[in-house]
Copies of this chain bind each other. A is one copy, B any other.
Amino acid sequence: MRLSDMIEEMARNAREASRQLRKMGRDQKDNVLRLMADKLLKHQDEIVEENRKDLPLAREMGLSPAMIDRLTLNPSVIADMAGGLREVADLPDPVGEVTGMWKRPNGLQVGRVRIPLGVIGFIYESRPNVTVDAAGLCLKSGNAVILKGGSEAIQSNIILGRLLGEALRETGMPEKAIQVVPTTNREAVGILIGLDNWIDVIIPRGGEGLIRFVAEHSRIPVLKHYKGVCHIYVDNSAPLEMAEEICFNAKVQRPGVCNAMETLLVHEAVAPRFLPNMAKRFQDSGVELRGCPRTLALVPGIRAAGEADWPAEFLDLILAVKVVSDMDEALDHIEKYGSRHTEAIITSDYDRSQRFLTEVDSSVVLVNASTRFNDGNQLGLGAEIGINTSKLHAFGPMGLEELTTTKFIVYGQGQTRK
């Protein structure tokens, strides 16, 4: 069978499965999620064995040891995946919630009810546990999903998909609700994102190259974020000890993630007191600083920041630092170089905090807290399938609710339009 025929058949089957899923109640979905968890644990030897087949190829492909580590499945990682499925089973079901209902003058009762999106195409790289996480979240929210993982994890993804499908079949759920694309052929991505008759949403997760390719070529709406160039602005009214703790946490606690701070903006009135200590603490932890001219004057010996450093997502122990004359300059800088992902202000001034919350156009805006809190679990969404930095549908972290939409339901008694 030709690749395009195979993918289209998968998409048709997913659409049919999504029709069945509309009718499924919470108990049915939670039961199958728990059975999936059991199956992963019961078949862990088999999973590890299939995963071992992926590792030589991954080494051949030149993946770094850190990436190979993230690719490797062992009993502890498998237990985490199973635990994740059970946690999703415990979360409330977003489907069926009536988000509002009102009566019209002509007696029509109009409501909005939460429904699944339908069929989701999930395109991702590397870690096979994403296969299980994404499948669980999509199923709980009533969506069918087609999973296209990276070629470096193909055998792992196939065995995981097979086990999840078994659980669906054994509980009388539509088996095609979760399907793994069983090929390493990269053309599969291009085919998938063209099937707008069958697929409702594409969610890509991975490097900026993959995401740009998907966003530019997809005929299906895409939920995505390119990068997180997160800023913290330390105001002249900031409690400096708090500012130091938050900035340190935002940069150092996990520098390789999208909600880590990449640029620090400091009000000139506190820069002389704040920056030298802060810089020392960063440098002691191996952070390379790249400063504007005024920063260089306060922290001698660090590298000068170039124009390319301001919009950069370092994802590493590197930080761009700029001294600003006032809050306006900080806001202008964020507007110009930010990625609309996450920004924070450290301040003790009420008006400044309100102004920052209103004027900064990012998916998460914080006062006196670390940028690292932009995360579905941390913000209380219960789970996270990704972060969206385009404004449509769901701006910011996406949990179960963001995998649904609403439709209007109308109860009438014979009304006609005048």
Contacts and interface: CB of A to CB of B under 8 A. Distances in A.
Interface in A190-210: 200-201
16 contacts: A23-B359, A104-B378, A108-B373, A110-B380, A117-B392, A201-B391, A221-B221, A221-B391, A223-B392, A366-B410, A367-B411, A368-B413, A369-B411, A372-B416, A372-B417, A397-B408
A245 B215 CA distance: 47
A56 interface: no
Interface of A: 19, 22-23, 102, 104, 108, 110, 113, 115, 117-118, 200-201, 215-216, 219, 221-223, 239, 242, 245-246, 248-250, 253-254, 335, 353, 357-359, 361-370, 372-374, 378-380, 390-397, 405-417
A415 B359 CA distance: 22
A216 B215 contact: no
Contacts of A215: 219
Task: Please give the count of copies of this chain that the complex contains.
Answer: 2
A216 B216 contact: no
A395 B412 contact: no
Nearest to A379: B110
Nearest to A248: B416
A64 B256 CA distance: 61
Given A249-B417, A412-B368, A415-B373, A392 B221 contact: yes
Given A23-B359, A219-B216, A417 B253 contact: yes
A390 B239 CA distance: 48
A73 to B, nearest CB: 26
Contacts of A366: 409-410, 412
A359 B102 contact: no
A257 B394 CA distance: 30
A373 B417 contact: yes
Contacts of A391: 117-118, 200-201, 221, 405
A365 B219 CA distance: 26
Contact of A379 (B364, B396, B410): B410
